[in-house]
C-alpha cells in the first residue's frame, strides 16, 4: 500500500476500508433546467461576487415562482486532503501560537502537533489500523481535541461519547461501534469493569491520570498517557483518503438506541473551507467552544480554528451553567467568534445578564441547534447593535451548517420568524411535498438536502440509511441522493427558507392537523414568557389525549392570561388544554428540548395531582 507523507498532510494511495462513500463530483451536477448558482471565490464575503450578492437565488431559471430549491457552489474541492492537514499547516505558520486554551492552561500548535503524533504512534502500536474506531470518553479539555487529532493521524475514526452519559449508553456505543481502542480518564475504569461483552473488540485502553497497573481487572492492555512523554513525536505516515470516515457521532434514535452518523474527511473539508471564508475567520480570532465534543457543533469550533490558525478556547463545564461565568470567560479570553446553541443565548438573555459594557471583543455570534425565540434575538441585537448575528441550520447527517441567514437588522416584532436563509457551498436544499414535487413559494414541505456534506449513512445500519438517504426524485444520475431531514420548511417570496418545525411534531388532533411549532411560537410572542414546549400528551389514567403547554418565565403560572393571549391568534382547537409552569424547560445534552422528560413529567403530574421537580 502506498503511503503518504505525514508532514505534508496529504494522503496517498488507496486500499480497503471499513466505511466508504461515493466521492462527490467536484461540483454538483445540474439537473433539470439551467440552475443559476453563485460561486464562492477565495476571500469572498457575503455581499460580494460577480452577481453582486453571495446569498444566491432560486434555481431552475425562469421557474423562480415554483422552485423552492437553493444552492451555493464553492468551486473546486481539494483532492485527497485530510483534516489533520489543518493542524500541520497552521503549526508550520506559527508553531508557538496557542492552538487550544482550557481551564488548565494553553497548548501551542507545536505541542498539539507533537502530542497528537505521540497519540497516533501509541494507537498504532496497540493494533489500531486504518478506519478502526476509537472511542473517546473524557471531560471537556484540550486533551480531547489532541486525542481526536491523534486518532485521525492514526488513520482511524474518532467516536466521542459524553463523559456524563449513563454507563448503559456508553456500553451501547462501544458494542455498536466495535472500537479497537478507548481513550478515557482513570475515573472511568471502574465503570468499564461492568461493560461485559461490549468490550470484546477493544485491544487497548489509553488512560489519562491512571496509576501503574490500572485496567488489569478488565483484561485489556492499558497505556498511561503520562508514560508516553518520551515517545517519538515524528509525524506518522497517513494511509487515509478523503472519503474515509473521520468520525462517528451518536445521536438519539427513534427506537431509543443511539444511532451513529458517519462523517468523512471530505464532508468536513467542504464545510470548513466554506465556513472560514463565509464568516471571515482568521488567525487573529479567538473561537469560543461551548458545544459538547459529542455534538456536531464542535466540528465547527475545532476545525475552523485549526484551518484559520486561530485559538480555540474550550469553555469549562461550570461556565455553561452560570451566565455570569460564561460572560466572564468571553471577556477574559477576548473571544471574537462564538457558535452557540440557541438555548444558551436564550438563557443569557432571559436572566438579564447581557449589558452594553460587557463582552466588547465578541464580533460574530452564530446560533442554531433549535429555534431561538425572536424576542431574545431582539434583546441581543438591541444591546449589541454592532455585533453580527447569523442563524444557522444543519442536521448532523449533513455534517454541519447546510443553510445560514445573516440577520442584517433586528426583527420588527416578536411575531416575525427568523429564517434559516439559503444553502451553503456545494449544497442544495429542496422543499418537497408529500408527492415528491417541488413545493411552491409559501407552501409547506419537507426540507431535503443534497451535496458534499451528506453523510455516507448510519454506522452498521443499512435499513435506517436507506430510509433517510434516498434517491433524489429530481435527480439526473442513478447515484444522486438526498437526505430527508424530517423538518418542515417553506420558501418566502424573497427566496429565503423559513423553518417550521419537525415533521414528527405535526399531530392530528380532534380531526385537525396541528403544528406544535406554530403553537409554541404564539406562546413565545406573549410578554414575560422565556421558553415553551407544546406536546400532545396521553393521560395514562383516562387514556385521553390533550394539548399541553410547558412554559418557562414570570408569566408561566397565569394560565388565564396565556390562553386569552393565545385566543387572539390561534383557533380554539389549537389552544392547550393544560398550562404547566416550569422553572426551567429540560434540555437534552445537545441543547434541545427534552420532550421525553416532559412527557414523563406530565404522567407524574397527572398521577400525583401536584407540582413536583421535573428532574
Instruction: For residue range 117-169, list pLDDT tens digits in order.
Output: 999 999 999 999 999 999 999 999 999 999 999 999 999 999 999 998 888 88
CB of 501 closer than 8 Å to CB of 370:
no
* pLDDT over 90 at 257, yes or no: no
CB of 206 closer than 8 Å to CB of 186:
no
Confidence of residue 214 (pLDDT cuts 50, 70, 90): low
pLDDT per residue as tens digits for the range 401-421: 999 999 999 999 988 999 999
Cα gap 12→81, rounded to integer Å: 9
pLDDT at residue 33, as a whole number: 33
pLDDT at residue 79, as a whole number: 57
- Any residues with CB less than 8 A from the CB of 583 and at least 6 apart, and which? 552
Give me 164's grid cell. Answer: 456524563
DSSP string, 348-362: HHHTT---TTS-TT-
Q: What residue has cell string 470567560?
A: 329
Confidence of residue 17 (pLDDT cuts 50, 70, 90): very low
pLDDT at residue 216, as a whole number: 52
Cα gap 407→444, rounded to integer Å: 23
- Burial per residue of 508-544, b for 16 or more beta-carbon CB atoms within 10 angstroms, e otherwise: eeeeeebbbbbbbbbbbbbeebbbbbbbebebeeeee
CB-side neighbour CA atoms (13 Å) of 83: 35
pLDDT at residue 164, as a whole number: 86
Give me 285's grid cell. Answer: 480570532
CA angle in degrees (0–180, nearest 5) for 195-196-202: 80
Q: Average pLDDT in the 261-286 region? A: 97
* pLDDT over 60 at 269, yes or no: yes
- Any residues with CB less than 8 A from the CB of 152 and at least 6 apart, and which? 82, 83, 84, 158, 240, 246
pLDDT per residue as tens digits for the range 371-411: 898 999 999 999 999 999 999 999 999 999 999 999 999 99
Confidence of residue 338 (pLDDT cuts 50, 70, 90): very high
Q: Average pLDDT in the 265-272 region? A: 96
pLDDT at residue 474, as a whole number: 87
Using a 10 angstrom Cβ sphere, with 0-12 exposed, 13-18 middle and 19 or more buried, the burial of residue 244 is buried
Using a 10 angstrom Cβ sphere, with 0-12 exposed, 13-18 middle and 19 or more buried, the burial of residue 584 is exposed
Share of the chain above pLDDT 90, in %: 64
* pLDDT over 80 at 8, yes or no: no
DSSP string, 138-149: --SSHHHHHHHH
Cα gap 562→72, rounded to integer Å: 42
Confidence of residue 432 (pLDDT cuts 50, 70, 90): very high
* Domains, the chain, with CATH or none: 29-72+426-503 (2.30.38.10), 80-270 (3.40.50.980), 510-608 (3.30.300.30)
pLDDT per residue as tens digits for the range 340-354: 999 899 889 988 999
Q: What are the φ/ψ torsions at residue 241 (nearest 5 degrees)?
A: -120, 165
CB of 380 closer than 8 Å to CB of 389:
yes
Q: How far is CA 613 from CA 121, 546, 570, 583, 584, in A?
A: 49, 22, 30, 9, 10
CB-side neighbour CA atoms (13 Å) of 25: 13
What is the SS3 assignment for 55-90? CCCECCCCCCCCCCEEEEECCCCCCCECCHHHHHHH
pLDDT at residue 361, as a whole number: 98
* pLDDT over 80 at 556, yes or no: yes
Cα gap 40→274, rounded to integer Å: 8
Share of the chain above pLDDT 70, in %: 82
pLDDT at residue 564, as a whole number: 94
How far from the centroid of its chain's Cα atoms is residue 604's Cα? 32
How far from the centroid of its chain's Cα atoms is residue 407's Cα? 20
pLDDT at residue 611, as a whole number: 53
* pLDDT over 70 at 256, yes or no: no
CB of 156 closer than 8 Å to CB of 132:
yes
- Any residues with CB less than 8 A from the CB of 307 and at least 6 apart, and which? 86, 90, 272, 273, 276, 281
pLDDT at residue 254, as a whole number: 53
| Bigger pLDDT: 216 vs 135 | 135
> Which three-class secondary structure state does DSSP give residue 566?
helix
pLDDT per residue as tens digits for the range 40-88: 222 223 233 222 222 222 222 222 223 344 555 544 455 578 999 999 9
* pLDDT over 70 at 12, yes or no: no
Helices (H) and strands (E) in the chain, counts: 14, 28
Positive or negative, the CA dihedral 594, 599, 602, 608 is negative
pLDDT at residue 196, as a whole number: 84
Amino acid at each position: 500500500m502506498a503511503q503518504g507523507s505525514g508532514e505534508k498532510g496529504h494522503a496517498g494511495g488507496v486500499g480497503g476500508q471499513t466505511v466508504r462513500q461515493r466521492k462527490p463530483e467536484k461540483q454538483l451536477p445540474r439537473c433539470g433546467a439551467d440552475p443559476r448558482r453563485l460561486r464562492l471565490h477565495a476571500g469572498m464575503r457575503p455581499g460580494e461576487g460577480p452577481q453582486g450578492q453571495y446569498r444566491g437565488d432560486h434555481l431552475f431559471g425562469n421557474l423562480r415562482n415554483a422552485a423552492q430549491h437553493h444552492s451555493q457552489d464553492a468551486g473546486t474541492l481539494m483532492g485527497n486532503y485530510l483534516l489533520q492537514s489543518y493542524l500541520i499547516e497552521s503549526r508550520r505558520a506559527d508553531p508557538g501560537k496557542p492552538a487550544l486554551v482550557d481551564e488548565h492552561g494553553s497548548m501551542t500548535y507545536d505541542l498539539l502537533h507533537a502530542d497528537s503524533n505521540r497519540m497516533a504512534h501509541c494507537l498504532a502500536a496497540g493494533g489500531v489500523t486504518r478506519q478502526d474506531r476509537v472511542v473517546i470518553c473524557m471531560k471537556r479539555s484540550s486533551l480531547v481535541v489532541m486525542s481526536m487529532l491523534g486518532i485521525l493521524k492514526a488513520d482511524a475514526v474518532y467516536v466521542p461519547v459524553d463523559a456524563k452519559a449513563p454507563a448503559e449508553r456508553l456500553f451501547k456505543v462501544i458494542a455498536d461501534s466495535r472500537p479497537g481502542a478507548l481513550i478515557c480518564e482513570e475515573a472511568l475504569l471502574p465503570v468499564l469493569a461492568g461493560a461485559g461483552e461490549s468490550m470484546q473488540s477493544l485491544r487497548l485502553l489509553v488512560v489519562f491520570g491512571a496509576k501503574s497497573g490500572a485496567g488489569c481487572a478488565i483484561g485489556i492492555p492499558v497505556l498511561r498517557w503520562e508514560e508516553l512523554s518520551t515517545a517519538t513525536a515524528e509525524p506518522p505516515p497517513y494511509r487515509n483518503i478523503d472519503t474515509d470516515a473521520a468520525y462517528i457521532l451518536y445521536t438519539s434514535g427513534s427506537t431509543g438506541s443511539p444511532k451513529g452518523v458517519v462523517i468523512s474527511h471530505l464532508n468536513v473539508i467542504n464545510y470548513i473551507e466554506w465556513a472560514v471564508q463565509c464568516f471571515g475567520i482568521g488567525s487573529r480570532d479567538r473561537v469560543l467552544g461551548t458545544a459538547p465534543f459529542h455534538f456536531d457543533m464542535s466540528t465547527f469550533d475545532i476545525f475552523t480554528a485549526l484551518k484559520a490558525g486561530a485559538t480555540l478556547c474550550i469553555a469549562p463545564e461550570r461556565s455553561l451553567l452560570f451566565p455570569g461565568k460564561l460572560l466572564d470567560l468571553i471577556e477574559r479570553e477576548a473571544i471574537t467568534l462564538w457558535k452557540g446553541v440557541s438555548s444558551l443565548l436564550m438563557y443569557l438573555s432571559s436572566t438579564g445578564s447581557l449589558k452594553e459594557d460587557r463582552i466588547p471583543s465578541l464580533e460574530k455570534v452564530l446560533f442554531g441547534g433549535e429555534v431561538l425565540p425572536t424576542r431574545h434575538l431582539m434583546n441581543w441585537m438591541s444591546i449589541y447593535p454592532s455585533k453580527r448575528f447569523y442563524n444557522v441550520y444543519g442536521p448532523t447527517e449533513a455534517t454541519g451548517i447546510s443553510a445560514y441567514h445573516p440577520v442584517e437588522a433586528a426583527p420588527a416584532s416578536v411575531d416575525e420568524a427568523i429564517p434559516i436563509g439559503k444553502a451553503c457551498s456545494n449544497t442544495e436544499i429542496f422543499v418537497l411535498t408529500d408527492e415528491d414535487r417541488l413545493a411552491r413559494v409559501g407552501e409547506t414541505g419537507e426540507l431535503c438536502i443534497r451535496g458534499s456534506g451528506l453523510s455516507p449513512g448510519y454506522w452498521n445500519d443499512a435499513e435506517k440509511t436507506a430510509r433517510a438517504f434516498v434517491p433524489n426524485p429530481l435527480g439526473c444520475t442513478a447515484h444522486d441522493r438526498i437526505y430527508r431531514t424530517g423538518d418542515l420548511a417553506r420558501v418566502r417570496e424573497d427566496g429565503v427558507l423559513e423553518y417550521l418545525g419537525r415533521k414528527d411534531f405535526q399531530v392530528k388532533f380532534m380531526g385537525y392537523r396541528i403544528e406544535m411549532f406554530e403553537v409554541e411560537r404564539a406562546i413565545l410572542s406573549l410578554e414575560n414568557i422565556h421558553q415553551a414546549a407544546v406536546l400532545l400528551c396521553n393521560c395514562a389514567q383516562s387514556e385521553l389525549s390533550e394539548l399541553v403547554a410547558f412554559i418557562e418565565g414570570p408569566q408561566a403560572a397565569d394560565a388565564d392570561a396565556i390562553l386569552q393571549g393565545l385566543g387572539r391568534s390561534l383557533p380554539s382547537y389549537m389552544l392547550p388544554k393544560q398550562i404547566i409552569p416550569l422553572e426551567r424547560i429540560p434540555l437534552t445534552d445537545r441543547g434541545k428540548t427534552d420532550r421525553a422528560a416532559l412527557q414523563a413529567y406530565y404522567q407524574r403530574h397527572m398521577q400525583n395531582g401536584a407540582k413536583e421537580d421535573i428532574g
